[in-house]
Amino acid sequence: MAFTTIAVTGTFLQADNSTPATGNVTFIASTTMQDSSNNQIIAPTLSTGTLNGSGSISVDLTATDDSTTQPTGVTYEVTENINGAGQNKYSIEVPSASNAATLDLADITPAVTPIITYSYATQAYVDSASTSATGISFTAGSGLTSTTVQSAIEEVRNKSKYTHDQSSPATTWSITHNLGYKPNVAVVDTSDTLCFGDVDYTNDNALVVTFAQSFGGKAYLS
């Protein structure tokens, strides 16, 4: 049995659903196909169908499931390059049973999930956008007083931390921070040496730190 040739067709319209689109559609097999009964080999070759004045194409492709074709499971990668619509990629099978009529792309279910392209913002872009946000107007809300996006970012940062200054040496530091949550606590003495004590959260807005010795310094809450 020789390879079966199938005419794959398609018609593409613009967004108004009436004007013919322009562009092209390409097809390429996922691997080489072999027909052992006739000692024939077909290597993957890019086939291109250019949309005509009606927005249509017709491209002859080798069927992927002839009984003597190896390997099984071959697909064609289809790339739709439609002007004004971007690029769309997916894979299809071309069954030999379609020989009785043309095989239209609109009637084919993709053999695999369509390829999805993701866009990412680099850190440099994010930093640049943050800097440029200084001049963007902003309507304050939720307790904020800022009038620009950048100032709002800084205000939120400042509202999420608190510094307690313990000027009088004591073994118990009572701290009212009003942050609205139970923050992490880092304590240093007047020499900026890190000190450790027992933290007791009174509620989401206050806490008490108890030490073995009396000293002064600062507590950083965040």
Render pLDDT for 180-208 as a digit per residue (tens, 0 to 9). Answer: 888 889 999 998 888 888 999 999 999 99
Mean pLDDT, the chain, whole residue set: 83
Per-residue pLDDT at 104 exceeds 70: yes
pLDDT confidence bin for 36, thresholds 50/70/90: confident
Predicted local confidence at residue 160, as pLDDT: 75
For the full predicted model, state whether its pTM sits above 0.85: no
Predicted local confidence at residue 115, as pLDDT: 52
Q: DSSP letters along 121-168, please?
A: --HHHHHHHHHHGGGSB----TT---SBHHHHHHHHHHHT-EEEEEEE
Please say whether the beta carbons of 104 and 9 come within 8 A.
yes
Average pLDDT, integer, range 68-97: 89
pLDDT: which is higher, 17 or 153:
17
Q: What is the dihedral of CA 190, 191, 196, 201, to 10 degrees?
A: 30
Predicted local confidence at residue 98, as pLDDT: 62
Predicted local confidence at residue 143, as pLDDT: 60
The string of pLDDT tens digits covering residues 125-141 is 656 655 555 555 555 55
Predicted local confidence at residue 116, as pLDDT: 52
Predicted local confidence at residue 189, as pLDDT: 92
Predicted local confidence at residue 168, as pLDDT: 93
Range with the poorest average pLDDT among 45-49, 86-90, 94-98: 94-98
How is residue 205 written in tokens?
């807005």
Average pLDDT, integer, range 67-93: 90
Predicted local confidence at residue 23, as pLDDT: 94
Residues 6+ apart with CB under 8 A from 212: 171, 197
Predicted local confidence at residue 53, as pLDDT: 95
How is residue 99 written in tokens?
């020989």
Predicted local confidence at residue 107, as pLDDT: 86
pLDDT: which is higher, 48 or 177:
48
